[in-house]
């Protein structure tokens, strides 16, 4: 019962104080909004890049093992089964010589060349899709040991590209985390100072609260709730702006840099909303907690 | 009628060889020994900077003594845990020279505030606040804001707030310092009435007329030491200060 009354008191006084010190409250909302927009853009760009990377990764995580013409079919099938059992392998597809030729001929770039071909010089192949991009090289090494492989041209995969892709995605991940960390530190400092200004305006009230025997949490509660409110309002504003700006930004990017397959992903918005609201509430709460600390200590 | 407290009864406040030196090096109190029995009315007098306010600050545990011990109702303040402090403050009523009212709350809200902080239920808050405002003669002014009140009325609100949770002890730091003599006298009457109901009152004051008129216990502090402790004293003693200082 007493908890409930205290909570009601805290909610009431947080709400009142937000409106009473509107200028300071708005300054806090504005700074958190700006930070959350930056964080949101960071998340969106990160997500877009990882989408693009996933697209590439899908294409490069395939290695084809060329089968020598004299290999018996039974041996190919048994090797296919053996590969499928490997935990690193996602799937193995057998492409016969005829299919390989048909695929080759399908590409309009090869049309002229295909007509001039005598017989079928193409190998049959096992197309292995690995689960993890970094396993491509090890699968390649294994495949080269197989007796049925074409010794003149054993395997095909984009090795160098794979390595660079892995490096790039690693660096981008680190950069994104670093940027987020900096944003968090900067924003906590800003919020803390904004809230401290708000608290400074009300130090007399805090003094009276302490003199009549309010506990530290009783004094702190309203400020922390006010901080959470501020953070949630800021997060809502930032989120709305990002949701509005996201599709046209993607469209613009695609018309400018067509070769990077950036796409609009509405499902990501739900997780963005969750992150921003949670982040805003947390920033407000932590900022308030630290901001009010100096004044609350008995 | 002057009530004589029972000096043999359990002491409410006891200072034992208390020293206070501020980080700046100022020695505010030196070897203070003081016992206040339950129901006593004590004036702390002395020139500005003598250490009266420091003594009050120690008593409400805004400061800790550098040396010595202070007991209030058997609890040593210097050893009290920080989280226990709010509960200690709830046992005392505080009145200050500058009233310390919240300007954005009405008279009623200011008084009720002291109970809300304790998490008391609404019905109790209402009846107790109304009672306290009635005691200080402010019934009918509940919805007024402090800025629309005279100094004396503001101090009455502060006293109502100090009373509302029925403390056993009232500590007042220059409560009449900002008031004209007639109003100061009215406020003093209030403190006397509170004392006659059994609350111990400790009051730091410069108000010579009132001290001399009431003839209650007077503890004179000078240069951080207790210069005089009279059961029914005056503001100045005939054994004048220079001699005491020379000791």
User: Domain residues of chain B, as ranges?
Assistant: 39-67+82-246
* Same-domain check for residues A50 and A81: no
- Check whether residue A198 and residue A269 sit in a common domain: yes
Contact call for A211 and B100, based on CB within 8 A:
yes
pLDDT reading at B123 higher than 80: yes
CB contact under 8 A, B114 and A212: yes
Q: Is residue A138 part of a domain?
A: no
Residue A155 lies in a domain: no
Confirm or reject contact between A85 and chain B (CB < 8 A): no
- Residue written as token pair 């003093």: B188
Residue A265 falls inside a structural domain: yes
pLDDT recorded at residue A159: 66
Report residue B149's pLDDT band, with 50, 70 and 90 as the boundaries.
very high
pLDDT for B142 equals 93
Among B59, B67, B64, which residue's Cα sits nearest to residue B31? B67
Show the 3-state SS of A25-79. Answer: HHHHHHHHHHHHHHHHHHHHHHHHHHHHHHHHHHHHCEEEEEECCCCCHHHHHHH
**A116 with A175, same domain?**
no
Average pLDDT of chain A? 83
Q: Is residue A147 part of a domain?
A: no
pLDDT band at B242 (very low <50, low <70, confident <90, very high): very low
Give the integer Cα–Cα distance in Å for B211 and B42.
10
Same domain? A53 vs A66: no
Do residues A173 and A235 share a domain? yes
pLDDT score, position B240 = 47
Q: Scan residues 142-171 of B and list those with Cβ closer than 8 Å to A.
A: 161, 165
Q: Which of A85, A113, A131 is the last residue of a domain?
A: A131
pTM for the whole structure? 0.68
CA nearest neighbour of B92 among B37, B166, B154, B150: B166
What CATH number should be reported for the domain holding residue A102?
3.30.70.3040
Residue A194 lies in a domain: yes
A8, A208, A210: best to mutate for the B interface, most B CBs within 10 A: A208
Conformational region of residue B224, where left means phi above 0, alpha means psi within -120 to 50, and beta covers everything else = left
User: B21 vs B17, B73, B219, CA distance in Å?
Assistant: 13, 25, 21
- Choose the final residue of a domain: A109, A131, A153: A131
Q: Is the pLDDT of residue B203 over 90?
A: yes
Q: Domain ends where: A116, A131, A146?
A: A131
Gap from A281 CA to chain B (nearest CA, Å): 25
| A141 located within any domain | no
> How near does any CA of chain B get to the CA of A264, in Å?
51
CA distance B102 to chain A (A): 6
From the CA of B213, how many Å to the nearest CA of chain A?
A: 31
| Partner-chain contact B100 A207, CB within 8 Å | yes
Residue A232, pLDDT score: 94
pLDDT at position B6, please? 54
Interface check A207 vs B, CB under 8 A: yes
Q: How far is A11 from chain B (nearest CA, A)?
A: 13
Q: Do A213 and B104 touch (CB under 8 A)?
A: no
Across chain B, mean pLDDT equals: 88
Residues of A in contact with B82 (CB under 8 A): 297-298
* A10 reaches B (C-beta below 8 A): no
Contacts of B101 in chain A (CB under 8 A): 208
Picking from B120-134, B188-202, B230-244, which range would have the lowest pLDDT averaged per residue? B230-244
Please indicate if any CB of chain B lies within 8 Å of the CB of A218: yes
Q: Is A4 on the interface with B (CB under 8 A)?
A: no
**Strongest mean pLDDT among A75-79, A229-233, A259-263, B115-119:** A229-233
Secondary structure letter of residue A265 according to DSSP: -
Judgement on whether residues A101 and A239 belong to the same structural domain of the protein: no
**Of the candidates B82, B90, B101, which has its C-beta nearest A213's C-beta?**
B90
Does the domain spanning B39-67+82-246 belong to CATH 3.40.50.300?
yes
Q: What total of structural domains would you count in chain A?
A: 2
Q: Is A277 in the same domain as A184?
A: yes
* CA-based nearest residue to A101, from A81, A123, A82: A123
With CA atoms as reference, report the closest residue to B28 among B59, B54, B9, B4: B54
Q: Per-residue pLDDT tens for B11-31?
A: 899 999 999 999 999 999 999
Which residue range(s) make up the domain with A72?
Answer: 62-131
Residues A194, A291, single domain; the answer is yes
Find the closest chain A residue to B80 by CA distance: A298
pLDDT at position B8 is 58
Q: Return the pLDDT at A199.
A: 77
Residues 6 or more apart whose CB falls under 8 angstroms from that of A112 comprise none
**Same domain flag for A209 and A98:** no
Which residues of chain B does A216 touch, with a Cβ-Cβ cutoff of 8 Å?
A: 83, 86
Say yes or no to pLDDT of A84 above 90: no
Please check whether residue A250 lies inside any domain of the structure.
yes
CB contact under 8 A, B94 and A20: no
CA distance A176 to chain B (A): 42
| A212 and A274 in a common domain | yes
State whether A104 and A240 are in the same domain: no
User: Which pLDDT value is given to residue A298?
Assistant: 56
Least confident of A2-6, B40-44, B168-172: A2-6
Nearest CA in chain B to A17: B104
The interface predicted TM-score of the complex, written ipTM, equals 0.79
A147 — pLDDT class (breaks 50, 70, 90): confident
Looking at the fold, whether A203 and A283 belong to one and the same domain comes out as yes
């Amino acid at each position: 019962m007493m908890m409930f009354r205290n909570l009601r008191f805290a909610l009431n006084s947080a709400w009142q104080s937000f409106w009473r010190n509107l200028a300071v409250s708005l300054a806090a909302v504005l700074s958190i909004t700006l930070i959350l927009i930056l964080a949101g853009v960071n998340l969106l760009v990160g997500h877009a890049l990882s989408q693009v990377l996933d697209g590439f990764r899908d294409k490069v995580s395939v290695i084809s093992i060329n089968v020598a013409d004299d290999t018996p079919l039974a041996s190919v099938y048994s090797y296919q089964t053996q590969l499928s059992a490997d935990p690193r392998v996602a799937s193995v597809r057998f492409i016969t010589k005829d299919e390989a030729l048909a695929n080759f001929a399908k590409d309009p770039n090869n049309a002229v060349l295909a007509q001039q071909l005598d017989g079928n010089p193409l190998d049959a192949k096992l197309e292995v899709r690995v689960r993890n991009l970094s396993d491509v090289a090890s699968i390649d090494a294994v495949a080269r040991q197989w007796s049925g492989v074409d010794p003149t041209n054993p395997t095909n995969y984009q090795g160098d590209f794979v390595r660079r892709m892995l490096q790039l995605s690693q660096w981008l991940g680190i950069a994104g985390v670093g940027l987020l960390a900096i944003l968090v530190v900067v924003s906590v400092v800003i919020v803390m100072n904004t809230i401290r200004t708000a608290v400074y305006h009300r130090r007399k009230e805090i003094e009276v609260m302490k003199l009549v025997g309010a506990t530290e949490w009783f004094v702190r509660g309203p400020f922390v709730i006010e901080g959470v409110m501020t953070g949630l309002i800021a997060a809502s504003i930032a989120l709305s702006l990002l949701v509005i700006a996201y599709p046209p930004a993607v469209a613009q990017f695609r018309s400018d840099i067509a070769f990077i397959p950036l796409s609009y992903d509405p499902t990501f918005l739900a997780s963005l909303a969750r992150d921003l609201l949670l982040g805003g509430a947390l920033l407000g709460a932590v900022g308030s907690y630290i901001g009010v600390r100096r004044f609350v200590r008995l | 009628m002057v009530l004589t407290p029972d000096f043999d009864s359990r002491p409410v406040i006891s200072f034992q060889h208390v020293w206070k030196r501020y980080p700046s090096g100022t020695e505010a109190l030196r070897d203070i020994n003081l016992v206040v029995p339950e129901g006593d009315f004590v004036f702390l007098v002395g020139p500005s900077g003598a250490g009266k306010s420091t003594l009050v600050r120690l008593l409400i545990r805004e400061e800790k003594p550098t040396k010595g011990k202070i007991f209030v109702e058997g609890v040593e303040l210097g050893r009290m845990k920080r989280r226990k402090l709010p509960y200690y403050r709830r046992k005392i009523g505080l009145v200050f020279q500058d009233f310390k009212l919240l300007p954005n709350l009405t008279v009623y809200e200011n008084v009720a505030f002291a109970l809300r902080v304790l998490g008391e239920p609404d019905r109790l808050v209402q009846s107790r606040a109304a009672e306290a405002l009635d005691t200080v003669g402010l019934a009918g002014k509940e919805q007024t804001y402090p800025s629309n009140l005279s100094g004396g009325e503001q101090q009455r609100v502060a006293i109502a707030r100090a009373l509302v949770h029925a403390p056993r002890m009232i500590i007042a730091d220059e409560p009449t310092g900002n008031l004209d003599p007639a109003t100061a006298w009215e406020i003093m009457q209030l403190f006397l009435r509170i004392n006659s109901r059994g609350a111990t009152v400790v009051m730091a004051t410069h108000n010579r007329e009132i001290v001399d008129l009431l003839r209650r216990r007077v503890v004179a502090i000078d240069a951080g030491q207790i210069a005089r402790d009279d059961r029914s004293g005056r503001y100045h003693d005939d054994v004048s200060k220079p001699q005491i200082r020379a000791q």
